[in-house]
Structures are given as C-alpha cells and as structure tokens.
Amino acid sequence: MSYAIYSFIHSISRTQKVSLLTKGLVNELISSESWNNVASLLKERGMIEEQPASIEDFEFMLKSRSLTLLEKIRNYFSIFRVTYNIVDLYIYMLSLDELKNIIVSIVNGIGNGDSNKIRFFKKYFDQIPSSLEELTNSFKGNIYANALSYAIKDGQGKNISYLLSLLDIYFIKKLSEIIEGFKGDWKSLAENIICYYKDYYSISLAIKHKTVENTVCKIGTEILKDLSSSTSNTEILDILRRTQYSKMLNVNNTYEALASLYRMARVNARKSSELVFMSSPFNPALALALAELIRLDTEDIVSIANAKSLRLKEEEIKKMLSFEII
C-alpha cells in the first residue's frame, strides 16, 4: 500500500472512533435502573433514534446502528482489499445470530415461514428459504455464501450444533489468514487483538464437538487433541488447568471455564485495539481495531440491557463486559 492509502485508513479510523463507547458512558449505563433507562440514555446521546418497545427491538436497533457504521467504513475501504475484507468479516459476525436462527428454522422444517425472523437479511429474501442450498444461493457468492459453503461441507453428516459452530470458526479462520499476510509491527498488533479469540474458538470446538482446529495462538494442538478425546467434565477441566490461561479461568465447570475464556478474549481485544490507535498512524491494523471496538461496544450494551432486565447486580454486570471497571 502507498503512503496516501495508509493516511486515508488512518484518517477514516480516527474519525469513526469518536462514536465509540467510553468508560464514563458505560458506568452510566450500568447505573441505570432498567433496560428502558439504558435505551433512554442512548437515545439522548443520539446512539439510537427512538425508544424501543421491547428489549429484542433494542438489540436490533443497536446492531443495525453498528452494521450501518461498519458498512459505511467498508465502503470507504472498498478500493483496499485487505481492509475491506476485514470489515466485511465483522459485518458477517454482527449479523450471524440472525443467520443461525434462519438455519435452525430451515433444519427444523419451517422454511418459507415466520418471516418475522428476517430483519437484517430482507435485502436477500422475504421468506425463510426452504433449504440450506436455497439459502446459500440467495447470497450469490458473498461472504455469507462462502461461510455457509464452508460449514455445510465440513459439517456434512454432523448435527446442527456443529454446523453453527463452524460458522463462528469461519470468522476467526478468515481473519487469521488476512493477518498472516501483514508484516512486522502491523502483524503483531493485529495478532494481539485476535489471539485469545483463536484459542477460545478452537478450545470450544474441541470440547463441544471433539474436533481439532489448528487456528491457535497461545495453546498447542496437543491440548486440543487431549480436549477432543476427553470423556468427562473433570478431564476437560484438568486439561484446561495445563494451559497458559489456567490462573485466569473459572474452572468450577466447563461452561464457566469457556465463559471466562471468552470474556478474557474480549477484554484482551479491547486493550489491544486501543493500543493500535496509540501506535504508528500509518497502520492497516487500524481497520481491524476499529471494527473490533464497534463489535465489543455492541455486545457490551446488549449485555448491560439484558442484565438489567434480569435485575442483576452492578458487580455482576461489570464481570460480563470487555471494559475492566472497578
């Protein structure tokens, strides 16, 4: 890339970063009395346009805002293939929950029905397709079609849960492949953002589906092989205690261990993304850092709203977030 292109990436990334969450606003959201108050505060700040009728609508509004922002950034980077592909993967990831719901509907035999489940994908179809093949064809060769083709091929003969997990793995595999092409400090800065995610997704796949995925960072494939052949929760937890994450994991049970590893990955990703903005200004990793922060902001606000609806205590909410708040 030329100096002018790096300058452009820097300028766009810096400009868009001002729309992101701050610790101050997060503390205000955590202190809100209900999820409705969380929504009201964000409406006052101009982050959503209207007061949602339900928490589901609130989540949709937040994701829609983030997707619109990511699409705007992707369009800015449309002539720079690397940064365009990075942002495209984050658009994919933010809309993945709806795609998974559609896939479950198809597999359960209720395709061509319940069109209320279609919100982000209305530009592709008005009704849920009747088959996974029809769904893949609806996307006409874009990232969703590529991800589905990958998951269907590798998940052939397996259960629906495995296919859905492969859609998550697709995100981190493709992101890792892009970053592998970076050089020097750019590569290390970008790798730091996704490092823990790589281990989280691969560990999850080994535990849940007994499959070894070699997209890893701090752990070796031997750990994954041991996890994939484990036969009990006790054995799984003993193996996790042998990893570099052992002192930071909650190893009371497998679910809590995975949840704490995912939270750890998110905290690390936020810190590492912020560091990119303090590094050399002419850095293509800025696009990755910006997209990751947009994703984290969305997940954090959704977590706060859902926690408020369940009347969880503030200290419990803080432990869910990618921000480290005392």
Percent of the chain with pLDDT over 90: 71
- Within a domain: residue 77? no
Residue 11 confidence (pLDDT): 59
- Within a domain: residue 308? no
User: Is residue 278 very low, low, confident or very high in pLDDT (cuts 50, 70, 90)?
Assistant: confident
pLDDT surpasses 50 at 196: yes
Say how many residues make up the chain. 326
- Within a domain: residue 45? no
User: Is residue 163 very low, low, confident or very high in pLDDT (cuts 50, 70, 90)?
Assistant: very high
Residues 196-202, mean pLDDT to the nearest whole number: 97
Instruction: Lowest mean pLDDT of 81-85, 180-184, 275-279, 315-319, name the range.
Output: 275-279
pTM, two decimal places: 0.92
pLDDT surpasses 60 at 299: yes
Give the residue ranges of DSSP H helices in 18-158. Answer: 23-31, 35-44, 55-76, 81-94, 96-107, 132-138, 143-154
The more confidently predicted of residues 16 and 199 is: 199
- Looking up tokens 């959201």 gives 29
For 6-54, write each residue's pLDDT tens digit. Answer: 555 555 555 555 568 889 999 999 999 999 999 999 999 888 899 999 9
The more confidently predicted of residues 83 and 32 is: 32
- Within a domain: residue 257? yes
Residue 157 confidence (pLDDT): 73
On the 0-12 / 13-18 / 19+ scale of CB atoms within 10 A, 313 is exposed
Residue 291 confidence (pLDDT): 94
- Within a domain: residue 255? yes
Residues 259-265, mean pLDDT to the nearest whole number: 96
Distance CA 60, CA 56 (A): 6
Residues 264-284, mean pLDDT to the nearest whole number: 86
CA 152 to chain centre: 21
Residue 16 confidence (pLDDT): 58
Residue 316 confidence (pLDDT): 95
| Greatest distance between any 2 Cα atoms in the chain | 56
Residue 280 confidence (pLDDT): 63
Q: What share of the chain is helix, strand, coil (3-state, %, to 5)?
A: 70, 0, 30
CB atoms near residue 53 (< 10 Å): 8
- Within a domain: residue 80? no
Phi–psi pair at 284, nearest 5 degrees? -65, -15
The more confidently predicted of residues 82 and 278 is: 82
CB environment 242-281: b (16+ within 10 A), e (fewer): ebebeeebebeebeebbebbbbbbbbbbbebbeebbeeee
Q: Are 291 and 277 in contact (CB under 8 A)?
A: no
Q: Are 43 and 30 in contact (CB under 8 A)?
A: no
Residues 182-193, mean pLDDT to the nearest whole number: 91
- Within a domain: residue 305? no
Residue 160 confidence (pLDDT): 93
Percent of the chain with pLDDT over 70: 92
- As for how many domains the chain has, the answer is 1
- Within a domain: residue 253? yes
Distance set, CA 193 to CA 97, 215, 264, 267 (Å): 22, 14, 12, 10
Residues 146-175, mean pLDDT to the nearest whole number: 93
Residue 3 confidence (pLDDT): 46
Stretch (H or E) spanning 298: helix 285-309
Residue 17 confidence (pLDDT): 59
Residues 265-288, mean pLDDT to the nearest whole number: 86
User: Is residue 58 very low, low, confident or very high in pLDDT (cuts 50, 70, 90)?
Assistant: very high
Enclosing domain of residue 274:
181-279
Mean pLDDT for all residues in the chain: 90
